[in-house]
Structure 1
């Protein structure tokens, strides 16, 4: 699996845990999702309809060497917030090429398949796909085969 080092570390952390501890770690991630900067309004962000909860994201790929990610997810949706936080902590600041190389189904390596419904996991896949789409739209993709 080709993922940025920060995301690989998160995957390793999940892989080392038992089922109930994975859910606990996911909930810990949900509390770590950074607030949006004052300059960014949810209305200007892309919705992620694949998620069961209202989630919005924004990508700044003007600098291909350090992509910036922003997420908005309600506190009453801890699973969704946890997924957004994992993507933020694992991908924010990575290069466009590193993010585009992340496998669309990397989330299976977190081992949450038994603890989280497939519909919720598809939400995480939707977030990643939309991140990749925004990178391609903003910065272009020198390798079309890496598109989502």
Structure 2
């Protein structure tokens, strides 16, 4: 069975091992990782909104012919926690195969210790982002996938 990507596992461990007062700082650092989409909106084509998020959040996952997943996220800068979730996924899943993405545990943010540092509503939004990302991957590789 495939494991989640190594870099994502490292990020999970970094958060899980961090003192609670440092976790929010770490999250804010990941909010800066996420690049802004071009203002012309061309990259937004085919993106799916995640209504569970308190802010306007859109994502798209594409599985290439080589099985590697590319992700695209759109989240306003004034939503740093939600941007941080996307930044964690963008960095942690970079170069990951569809099977590795599907192997990411659904309780990822709880494993990171975020449930103790941020509101349950925000954790729910992050969990919804991951669920929609995995669903998009599953739809592209076929019904027998993960």
Look up the match of 2:47. Answer: 45
- Please name the residue that 1:68 is paired with: 70
Deviation at 1:45, TM superposition (A): 0.9
Structure 2 unaligned segments of length 5 or more: list them. Answer: none
What is the SS of the residue equivalent to 2:83?
helix
Report if aligned partners of 1:4, 1:99 keep a CA contact under 8 Å in 2.
yes
Number of matched residues?
A: 143
Q: Would you say 1:18 and 2:19 are equivalent positions?
A: yes
TM-score, scaled relative to structure 1: 0.88
After TM superposition, give the deviation of residue 128 of structure 1 in Å. 0.8
- Give the unaligned 5+ runs of structure 1: none
Q: What are the within-5 Å matches in structure 2 for residues 128-139 of structure 1?
A: 128-139=130-141
Change (3 A) 1:68 1:43: closer
- Report the equivalent of 2:122: 120
Q: Deviations over 1:49-80 (max 9, x none)?
A: 11111110011113352100000000000000
Taking a change above 3 Å as real, the CA distance of residues 59 and 128 of structure 1, as seen in their structure-2 partners, is same
Instruction: Answer yes or no: is the 8 Å Cα contact 1:64–1:96 preserved in 2.
Output: no
Q: Report 1:102-121 matches (<5 A).
A: 102-121=104-123
The two structures, once aligned, show a CA RMSD in angstroms of 1.8
- Cα deviation, residue 35, structure 1: 2.6
TM-score, normalised to structure 2's length? 0.89
C-alpha contact 1:62 1:138 (8 A) present in aligned 2 = no
Distance 1:43 1:67 in 2: 17
Residue 4 of structure 1 pairs with residue 5 of structure 2: yes
SS of 1:34's partner is coil
